[in-house]
Amino acid sequence: MGQDRHAGTIAALPQGNLRHLVGWRPTLVGAAGAVASGALLTSAFPPLEWDWAAWLALVPLLLAPVPATPRRRALAGLLFGLLHCVTNLFWLNEVGFGAGVLLAAYCALYPAAWYLGVTELSQALGALHPGRGGHPADLRPGWRQAVYILGGALLWVGLEWVRSWLGTGFPWNELGVSQWQRPLLLALTCCTGIAGITFLLVAVNLALALVVVAWWRGVTKGTPRRAARAPLLTGVVLVGAAVLAARSAPRLPAPSGSLRVLAVQGNIAQCREWTEAQFAEALDVYTGLSLLAAPANRPDLVVWPESAVPAPLTYEPFKTRLQQVLPQIRTPLLIGAIDSRALPGARWTGTDWEPPLLDFNSALLLAADGQRLESYDKIHRVPFGEYVPFSRYLPWLVRMIGMGRDLVPGSEFTVFDLGQGARAGVNICFEDAFAEISREFVRRGANVLMTLTNDAWYAESAGSRQHLLHAVFRAAENRRPLLRSGNNSDTCLILPDGQVSGLLYDVVTGNRFLRGTQVYEIPLYDSPPLTLYARWGNWFAQVASALAALLVLGLTVRIVGARAARRQALQTRSVA
């Protein structure tokens, strides 16, 4: 009788309401899939670093019911992208202005576009019924599944590559970064760059979705399970090709020597506008640690991070103090600092320079007597941190967000001669997220890479750890050791194979956010070989992007043609 009463209740409901309730069920399940995929994708990066999650993070989204209309598919993709990007970039909110949320809203457009593209690709390959979205369950076994896997992976790589250069570029946390602890995959970057790992991860996700569908249909409907053969075979072939490419990574000879470096980590809190008291504190901390550690360890070089002291190097008290301290350290100093310089031909008016001095974010090599030997000016500036785009037309934005000055970009990839046969290319701050910059240093003869950074802006969040992982790939892609000097955390040496060594941390608590020093023996190699990546750059990402563009063009033609056919059919019916 309970069943009869229930049936009667359902029958009594207005049919429109019933359709409404039934129609919302796939939408809710689809939203749950988008949320699950977004959360899994974030968990593959710091702070959790569950790298295994990247191999299946997209599967819930792919298996969920696909909304019937393009607008709803776009919303589902945007939900997936927003959840991942907001949680992944939440640390950026430490600088204020909701910076993490604003940047996440932009970055979310790329995974949303990928979801739209991959569902349209599935629809095109599966010859789906009108009104249904692109779902793996609707794909016919065989070559269509292989095209679906390859096309979806190419599309993701292409979109990440566009994100890496569009506007000022933001190649942060590309999907392959999650695999920083996998030596075999790190070796793959010598050939393909990080894009090769990203391609493999997305392809495996797509193949897994097809295998799950084939298995589920075999269990529930008794259909032949050979439908899983094509995605399994495609996955095996791609993994095999990746292994062969990784095995081709050049082997380095035994080190011919080493460079002994003392890295100083002051752990100084940051300020938007420094005071004399903050300047004095930072200068006391860095000079004090250097004077304490250098005589005991006898390094070849002392390294201070980016903006170690919050004042231009030309500030007289700063310059005077260095001239007093360096003869006591008796060691060259590589320091990150603001460098104010006059243009060639500038004249002193008696009160100021005409034209005014230009400010650069620089890495400077000072001799033991304080003489400036070489300098490198940061080429890729941080928008809204080191300059405000369109500042001439948006003065209110400068007042609200700006740091009080626009830094001038550098133009020369300076390779420092550090002695002992060490030739170093120095990234400043998040320049090490841009693979081409480290590559240019290597092509100009660098056998050592360095990063001088100041991640103290993000306090003790996951920002510094995420930043560190990008440096791992710069070392692995070029087969060069990389010394990372941080202001508040993650000072370490990264070996040419990507292994992190000598991370500075508190041995009792495990805390990485501390004040201290560490000595590193950087291995040096005479004429180390150039990797394929160092020679050809982002060739894999560019080829993938070109193929993805052709794929998008084909899908666009198909969509336009289908709409034209529907309009023609409607006109024919109205005439009839």
Tens digit of each residue's pLDDT, the chain (576 residues): 344 433 333 333 333 333 433 456 777 888 999 999 999 999 999 999 999 999 999 999 999 988 888 888 999 999 999 999 999 999 999 987 788 999 999 999 999 999 999 999 988 887 333 334 467 766 777 788 899 999 999 999 999 999 999 999 999 999 999 999 999 999 999 999 999 999 999 999 999 999 988 887 776 666 656 678 888 899 999 999 999 999 989 988 899 999 999 999 999 988 777 889 999 999 999 999 999 999 999 999 999 999 999 999 989 999 999 999 999 999 999 999 999 887 777 667 666 776 778 899 999 999 998 899 999 999 999 988 888 877 676 666 666 665 556 889 999 999 999 999 999 999 999 999 999 999 999 999 999 999 999 999 999 999 999 999 999 999 999 999 999 999 999 999 999 999 999 999 999 999 999 999 999 999 999 889 999 999 999 999 999 999 999 999 999 988 888 778 778 877 777 776
Count the alpha carbons within 13 Å of 90 in the hemisphere toward its beta carbon. 14
Give the residues across from 365 on adjacent strands.
334, 374
* Coarse DSSP helix, strand, coil percentages of the chain, rounded to the nearest 5 percent: 55, 15, 30
Distance between CA atoms of residues 374 and 414, nearest Å:
8
Q: Active site residue: 120, 160, 306, 431, which one?
A: 306
Active site residue 436: no
Considering Cα of 387, then 393, then 397, then 399, what sign does the dihedral take?
Answer: positive
Give domain 257-530's CATH superfamily.
Carbon-nitrogen hydrolase (3.60.110.10)
Distance between CA atoms of residues 180 and 197, nearest Å:
10
574 burial level (CB within 10 Å; 0-12, 13-18, 19+): exposed
pTM for the full model? 0.91
pLDDT (0 to 100) of residue 132: 45
Query: For the chain, first and last CA: distance in Å?
Result: 52
What is the distance, to the nearest Å, from the Cα of residue 215 to the centroid of all Cα atoms in its chain? 35
Helices 109-126/99-107 angle, 10° precision:
20
In order, the DSSP letters of 409-441 are: P-----EEEEETTEEEEEEEGGGGGSHHHHHHH
Rg of the chain, C-alpha, whole Å:
28
* Antiparallel, parallel or unpaired: β 422-428 and 415-419: antiparallel
Active site residue 306: yes
Distance between CA atoms of residues 492 and 13, nearest Å:
67
In this structure, what token pair is assigned to residue 503? 């991370």
Identify the three-state secondary structure at position 386: coil
Considering Cα of 491, then 492, then 496, then 500, what sign does the dihedral take?
Answer: negative
Q: Active site residue: 378, 431, 477, 492, which one?
A: 378
Nearest to 416, CA basis, from 477, 464, 483: 483
Considering Cα of 397, then 400, then 403, then 405, what sign does the dihedral take?
Answer: positive
Q: Are 149 and 139 in contact (CB under 8 A)?
A: no
Inter-CA distances, 334 with 204, 285, 305, 364, 426, Å: 44, 16, 8, 6, 10
Distance between CA atoms of residues 309 and 387, nearest Å:
20
- Write down the domain spans for the chain: 11-249+541-571, 257-530
Distance between CA atoms of residues 386 and 218, nearest Å:
58
Inter-CA distances, 515 with 279, 293, 346, 447, 487, Å: 17, 13, 41, 29, 9
Which residue is it, tokens 């760059």?
193
Q: Active site residue: 386, 429, 431, 492, which one?
A: 429
Active site residue 319: no
pLDDT (0 to 100) of residue 158: 98
